[in-house]
Structure 1
Amino acid sequence: MPLDISRRALLFAGLLPLVPSGAAFAQAWPSRPVTLVVPYAPGASNDTFTRALGDALSKRFGQPFVVDNRPGAGGVTGVNTVARAAPDGYTLVEMPNSILGFKPIMKVDIDPLKNLTPLGAMASAPTALVVPAALPVNNVDEFIAYARANPDKTFYGYAGIGTTQHQHMELFNKLTGLKIKGVNYKSSSDAQTDLLAGRLQAMIVTIASTLGQIEGKELRLLAYTDDNYPPGAPKAPTMAEVGVKGMEKAQIWWGIFGPPGMPADLVATINAAINQSLTDPSVVALLAKSGATPMPGTSEQFVTMIKDEAVLVDEFVKLFGTKNP
């Protein structure tokens, strides 16, 4: 009759390896460098904010938090890298709310609630309409008049079908009765290069990604989509204040996700680390200067934000469909 040897007996005998529990993983994290994937090119707000957060985390834990830029397919390339990673907390990804457009708009089978683990929100901000400084317009009314008078010479840029840049500019088109044509780019940085060169006439952006060009008077800030920008951001009216009502929902947020299947204790540990880092004075100052506001909160609150955003994306699909304009 075979012996009934328990797992505990084998462990004590040294015949089975000791496998740490989720709590042990969480307690030890981070014991080695952490990779923060940014699925966009360097220079945009996603990159700037993630580097600031990574620096604060490195300072707190004494471990490197290395930013790995992996642009492509509107963010899908970088997200897929993390979706396939081990759920140990050492490969994370930063994503804005445009991730909610992956499945319904881009037809990519990525659901952030199923294929990733939401860890915590990082920041939020209204978006803003900017134009090249050389364009002969000084406010939204003049831009609308210019676009109507020059329909074949007015283009906007965006990085990926269904991204917030795409959604918000198409909403602007709908509310103003314009039909400004969109040009799809691999990254926001590529689109902004053409905007600065005058090959594009407008973009809806985050202030973070264009602050230097606005302060350097290379780009002109015409209006914010809403008034929830911090005091340190460049001054401009809101869309509602200049007569374009209905743009208030055109917001952007940034958050941190991990691979699917992360233990609850590890999620709580990383969420607490993100929240504490969002109080770092250097992070707060960068966000404020960039027109963004820190959004500390629980991972459960972040999940609720994601579900709310999914409703807005569904509304976009019903209004505009999923084709490249």
Structure 2
Amino acid sequence: MQDKTQAAQRRGLLRGAAAIGASALLPLGMARAQAYPERPINFICPWPAGGTADASMRALCSAAGKALGQPVVLENKAGASGMIGLKAITSARPDGYTIGQVPISVTRFYQLGMTTVDPRKDITWIARTSGQTFGIAVPANGKWKSMAELVNYAKAHPGEVTYAHSGLGGATHVGMEEFLIVAGIKMRDVPFKGGSEALQAVLGGHVDILVDSSSWAPHVESGKLLLLSTWGEQRTPRFAQTPTLKELGWDVVTDAPNGVGAPRGLDPAVEARLRDAFRQAAASEEFKRVCAQIDAPIMYLDGPQYQAYAESVYRKETSLIERLRLKELMKG
């Protein structure tokens, strides 16, 4: 009888120890997530230094670092229209210490086979932050002073005019090709790794026109470049004298919002921490000031809403790819 009693006591002690051990595991995991971040966070920008995307992301990282209590250190990984950097983000460990800018063009590039990153399952969406003001700029001392003059020249000289953009299949490339179809003209595209390189090619006289987000802005204000049109729904306040493509009669609108993402499999507590930090960063005066300087409208969405937006864009891109025959265009 005594042996049975002792055995029962031992079993009770073992069950108690197991229960204590199991209860201790959960708080430990939660404590680790709550302690995040314990070191600097690497933020990958998939565009070169010196461009508008680089400028806005640096301001965003600075503000997010203040909210997180650790530096968010930007690293430029340019190339392949932003897909090299995106691959580096999504292939990193999902520990919250490698995140980065996720261009909405991933929805198109995945369908075109330019990346293996599936936006529907390979990304933890953190926040949509801002859009871009795209425009067509030409040397101020050049032959065109308006969109009408440029279009008329292109009609008379099909394929002669060259335009610089920041990468095949990107927003500037696709937006311009859509415009060319709507306008019924042909031009030759010249791709670069980013807007900064495209800008220098036009300033150097190597390419006729620049199609980019507002890397052209300071050069328009200094008189070196002439802004012929912008691509938004409305005129941009900084260049209110410049008409949009839409108001000139070409129904093309491109604003290409982008934001922040991380690898899939992120701890929910870490994800929540990042979402809160970048919500604060997107609302900061520091980020707003830089966005105003580069004419980037704030278009904040929280992670789940940004994911839903990306899924809707994916569906729209499917029809756009077919309408513009993008697969054939990319092969050519």
Q: Establish whether TM, by shorter chain, passes 0.5.
A: yes
- Partner of residue 71 from structure 1, selected from 78, 81, 87: 78
Deviations 1:91-124 (A, max 9, x none): 1110222222221124422112312211110102
- Residue 317 of structure 1 and its aligned partner are, at CA, apart by 1.2
TM-score (normalised: structure 1): 0.88
Q: Provide the residue aligned with 2:221 in structure 1.
A: 215
Q: Give SS of 1:297's match.
A: strand
Q: Provide the residue aligned with 1:257 in structure 2.
A: 261
Structure with bigger gyration radius: 2
Deviates more, 1:220-229 or 1:118-127: 220-229
TM-score (normalised: structure 2): 0.86
Q: Provide the residue aligned with 1:238 in structure 2.
A: 244
Cα distance change on mapping 1:132 and 1:25 into 2, 3 Å: farther
Q: Separation in 2 of the partners of 1:123 and 1:199?
A: 31
Cα distance change on mapping 1:8 and 1:229 into 2, 3 Å: farther
How is 1:1-325 mapped onto 2 (pairs within 5 angstroms)?
Answer: 9=17, 20-21=28-29, 23-207=30-214, 209-228=215-234, 231-232=237-238, 235-244=241-250, 246-248=251-253, 250-319=254-323, 320-322=325-327, 323-324=329-330
Deviations 1:177-196 (A, max 9, x none): 01111122233322222122
Tell me if the contact between 1:41 and 1:70 (Cα under 8 Å) persists in the aligned partners: yes
Deviations 1:2-44 (A, max 9, x none): x999798479689x988943x4444223221011101111112
Partner amino acid, structure 1, of 2:98: T
**Percent identity over the alignment?**
26
Partner amino acid, structure 2, of 1:96: P
Q: Give SS of 2:300's match.
A: coil
Q: Separation in 1 of the partners of 2:234 and 2:259?
A: 18
Cα distance change on mapping 1:234 and 1:10 into 2, 3 Å: farther
Q: Separation in 2 of the partners of 1:83 and 1:218?
A: 40
Deviations 1:125-156 (A, max 9, x none): 34222222232212110111222233353111
Q: Separation in 2 of the partners of 1:151 and 1:170?
A: 14
Deviates more, 1:107-116 or 1:28-37: 107-116
Partner amino acid, structure 2, of 1:222: L
Tell me if the contact between 2:82 and 2:103 (Cα under 8 Å) persists in the aligned partners: no
Structure 2 runs not aligned, ≥5 long: 1-10
- Residue 168 of structure 1 and its aligned partner are, at CA, apart by 0.2
CA RMSD of aligned residues (A): 2.7
Q: Separation in 1 of the partners of 2:208 and 2:15?
A: 68
- Residue 261 of structure 1 and its aligned partner are, at CA, apart by 0.7
Q: Separation in 2 of the partners of 1:8 and 1:89?
A: 35
Partner amino acid, structure 1, of 2:249: G
Q: Separation in 1 of the partners of 2:268 and 2:57?
A: 23
Tell me if the contact between 2:43 and 2:72 (Cα under 8 Å) persists in the aligned partners: yes
Deviates more, 1:228-237 or 1:256-265: 228-237
- Residue 286 of structure 1 and its aligned partner are, at CA, apart by 1.5
Q: Give SS of 2:173's match.
A: helix
Cα distance change on mapping 1:4 and 1:166 into 2, 3 Å: farther
Cα distance change on mapping 1:321 and 1:38 into 2, 3 Å: same
- Residue 266 of structure 1 and its aligned partner are, at CA, apart by 2.0
Tell me if the contact between 1:125 and 1:228 (Cα under 8 Å) persists in the aligned partners: no
Partner amino acid, structure 2, of 1:247: V
Q: Separation in 1 of the partners of 2:282 and 2:306?
A: 15
Tell me if the contact between 1:224 and 1:238 (Cα under 8 Å) persists in the aligned partners: yes
Cα distance change on mapping 1:266 and 1:143 into 2, 3 Å: same
Q: Separation in 1 of the partners of 2:16 and 2:209?
A: 66
Partner amino acid, structure 1, of 2:191: N
Deviates more, 1:166-175 or 1:125-134: 125-134
Partner amino acid, structure 2, of 1:288: A
Tell me if the contact between 1:11 and 1:17 (Cα under 8 Å) persists in the aligned partners: no
Q: Separation in 2 of the partners of 1:7 and 1:74?
A: 58
Deviations 1:44-82 (A, max 9, x none): 222111101011122333421111001122222111111
Q: Separation in 2 of the partners of 1:242 and 1:5?
A: 81
Equivalences, count: 319
Cα distance change on mapping 1:13 and 1:286 into 2, 3 Å: closer
Q: Separation in 2 of the partners of 1:36 and 1:191?
A: 24
Structure 1 runs not aligned, ≥5 long: none
